[in-house]
Chain A
Amino acid sequence: MAYFPHTETDIEAMLQTIGLKSIAELFAAVPEKLRSVKIPEFAPVSELELLAEIDEIRRAPENSEHSFLGAGRYDHYIPAIVPQLAGRSEFYTAYTPYQPEISQGTLTAIYEFQSMICALTGLDIANASLYDGATALAEAIGMAVSVTGRREYIVANPLHPNYREVLKTHLMPRSITEQKEITPRTAAVIFVLPDYHGLLSDWIEYLQKARMHGALFIACADPLLLSVIEPPQADIIAGEAQSLGLPQNFGGPALGYLTARKEFLRQMPGRIVGRTEDNRGGRPFVLTMQTREQHIRREKATSNICSNEALCALQAAIYMSYMGADGLQTVARLCKANTDYAKQKLGSLPGFSAEQGEHFRDFVLRCPSSAQEICNAAGAGMALDDRRLLLSVTEKNTPAQIDYLAGVLAKWKN
């Protein structure tokens, strides 16, 4: 039991001011039938005991570490400055910046995030963040539906199966469905970059088809990759930005982002920060275009989102500022160099082969026997099916680690 500053004397004095005799009287409006229910109890522990308990469960032998995992969450290097600055309590203990005069810190950082994420995607406008990559993509499709008045979408290349399921959960209730062919009923064509298997491929054919049928072209792209390739000429680019300075966190918090062409501003979901003027010649930042949002529009809002991932967006802004274009491009190239090396090294082992094409971080290794057994024995990667192992590297992996894995796999074959 903690965090209560009240003394017994305080409580008595306060009750007297209120004009009541006991704390129980504060709850007189709660029906007796409810108050008399016996609620199961659990004991409080001290901070000291809690830390000891957590230490103990962390040391349990079942906590096996697994490596070369990617597929949506990546173990990138996070510079020391990033969590230290984002961890300043003026940032993390603040609420949504509804009162701009005392929230310029959060608002300015979000404006910087919007500007930098737009610089990466080459689009005009961004919102202040969404929950994660999958829900950001669902929101992007929702935008395409309101722009086109159509209710179908197609996914051009392999998308993470979890994303596909999140899209279905979020869109089916509004009868927005995934189809296989692009037709005049298609609201959005989605192209994944890189795809679920790390493959980089050209989107031009899909972009042209989308244009031909009046559908929006949505790229679900990793922002780190966009630092080194020309971004697609898309209507919306959205997805996951965990690669911009955020830890894996067992999947969350992460950072959904959404950028779009400026003509779609009115259809954008979520909060948007803008710069304006005040009554003393200053140029403050505010939450703006709020008539799109739930607290004003209620059932007619572009989305129901309220809390987003603001602190993660702030952290990404710090990361992008620290890295600059040169840093992001270096990280992307180191990832690519390690991917190339791992593919070459592991793919040339007897019985193994790496999938063709250019890959970014993730790649598929074909195995001579059960991929699941190899995955378990090597403690590496993720089995996609009987013979395919999905492996992933980042700038943190060294050639020595890749060579070590190659040694383990070579023995497996023998």
Chain B
Amino acid sequence: MEKLIFEYSRKGRKAHTLPVAPPVKFGLPARKSLCLPEVSEIDVARHYTGLSRQNYGIDSGFYPLGSCTMKYNPKINEQIAALADFTGAHPAENPRALLKILYDTERMLCQIFGYARFTLQPAAGAHGEFTGLLLIRAYHLDRGGVKRLKILVPDAAHGTNPASCALAGFQSVTIKSLSGGGVDLEDLKQHLDDNVAGLMLTNPNTLGLFEKNILEIAELVHQAGGLLYYDGANANATMGIARPADMGFDVCHLNLHKTFSAPHGGGGPGSGPVGVVEKLAPYLPRPVIDRRDDKYFLNDNLPKSIGKVHSFYGNVGVILKAYAYLKIQGSSGLKRASELAVLNANYIKARLQDAYDFPYPQVCQHEFVISAKNFKKQHGVTALDIAKRLMDYGYHPPTVYFPLIVSECLMIEPTETESKESLDAFCEALLKIAEEIKTAPELVKSAPHNAIVGRPDEVKAVKEPDLNYFQTG
């Protein structure tokens, strides 16, 4: 294991080559002591290169993390986002090139998803959810709907959905799923009343199933005076196939760091644009980017705006990467991406059919779930054990224990950028693991064996928190 940068530190060592600063006064008490590493440039280079080798990215191998859309991150995206006039642009400037790119990105997203406008301000998916919910809130308040404080959220939803509801001042109410997957229409009907502000839905849902009754659901919610919110985490299955706006969704957030090939960065930065139908456009966060003749400008004149959600205009550096992807794919490439993403998911599912349990056997969309319930009952092997064992075969594990409604759940999303050979090799690994579970369950239960660390003690991490080297290291 690579040691910490602090352990390289030697008194008097330094890396920087800055000029000597003249004496200055700050008019406030001067800093008495500041303990940071004292290292040379080669220490920094070796240390962070060493750390990068202890990480697994898409460039390292297959990353079938369900609901995360870990597709290849094209290098041209990085090159364009790193152009000096883009990284060096100050938010108080009016750089025509950037404004045009932001404007064009918005137009392309509007076409693919069917919306009147998008705001590019939210910095991540959850930030987009929060923004979208505020738009719903503003819409109802503007029409005197002060009582509309309930948001309906299916039990299969991402955890961010109910958390975003709470932050936006809504109460989230859970709607049941049918045993075959999909929203329970009877349960939905019972919750629809004058207090409902809207319904949040992921489509395809987190089981990887397209919500067959979506048009009926939309009609019911709209009749009750509510709005529909589209959680775009799974948008990679729908591009060029069916548009959320046509499905009846009034608001929609996308994850540019999932569907549009911007990298996840080990947890961020992301970008969560929010699209709206015409009637919600007046409430968008300000400013929006408008065009008059050939001029692009930041328009702050939105009297009904919910206000800003970011210090400036969002994660522009991430949006640039999505722009490059949109341009290179074109609308036909986006459709192809969705088709092949769904093909890849169904191919893995078909190959594993006899070895694993599929609680939802029908054709899936871009992802699917496996339940390890029977493995646990018969051999004591859990979903987590299978995930850890996959590391020994050189793979990043799938999402585990989500959605919450599937017991011992493994959620697999291959994306369209993987070849048939890559999927075959992954299937071979999973088939071998299925054999191991029967013949050598202990091997699976104690995995990973080849990783640089063993399974961490997470209970100890919580009971004896060590969060700061200078206090505990």
Contacts and interface: CB of A to CB of B under 8 A. Distances in A.
Contact of A105 (B53, B85, B123): B53
B361 to A, nearest CB: 12
A132 B314 CA distance: 9
A51 B80 CA distance: 8
B302 interface: no
Nearest to B397: A99
B215 interface: yes
B308 to A, nearest CB: 5
A408 interface: no
Main secondary structure on chain B at its contact with chain A? loop
Contacts of B44: 81, 85, 318, 321-322
Contact count band on A: 35 or more
Contacts of B469: 111-112, 115
Contact of A250 (B21, B95, B396): B95
Contacts of A326: 14, 16, 38
Contacts of A358: 25-28
Contact of B458 (A35, A89, A240, A286): A286
Contacts, number: 651
Nearest first, the 10 closest Cβ-Cβ pairs linking A and B are A251-B312, A44-B330, A105-B55, A310-B267, A311-B265, A93-B57, A173-B169, A333-B21, A1-B333, A358-B27
A285 B266 CA distance: 14
A333 B26 CA distance: 9
A158 B465 CA distance: 37
A358 to B, nearest CB: 4
Contacts of A86: 48
Interface stretch (A206-214, A225-233, A343-351): A225-233
Nearest to A26: B342
Counting chain A CB atoms within 10 Å of each CB, which of B172, B327, B473 scores highest? B327
B268 A35 contact: no
Contacts of A155: none
A93 B59 contact: yes
Given A66-B93, A95-B70, A132 B123 contact: yes
Interface stretch (A12-20, A183-191, A364-372): A12-20
B31 interface: yes
B386 interface: no
Contacts of A120: 34
Given A103-B55, A124-B471, A250-B95, A166 B309 contact: yes
A93 B317 CA distance: 15
Nearest to B316: A250
A243 interface: no
Given A112-B4, A115-B6, A357-B27, A92 B57 contact: yes
A119 B417 contact: no
Contact of B88 (A202, A225, A248): A248
Contact of B26 (A28, A116, A229): A229
B269 A304 contact: no
Interface in B51-102: 51-60, 63, 65, 68, 70-74, 76, 78, 80, 82-83, 85-98, 100-101
A250 B16 contact: no
A211 to B, nearest CB: 19
Given A44-B332, A166-B311, 11 more contacts: A33-B215, A37-B243, A93-B264, A101-B388, A104-B1, A169-B309, A170-B167, A229-B31, A252-B310, A307-B124, A333-B23
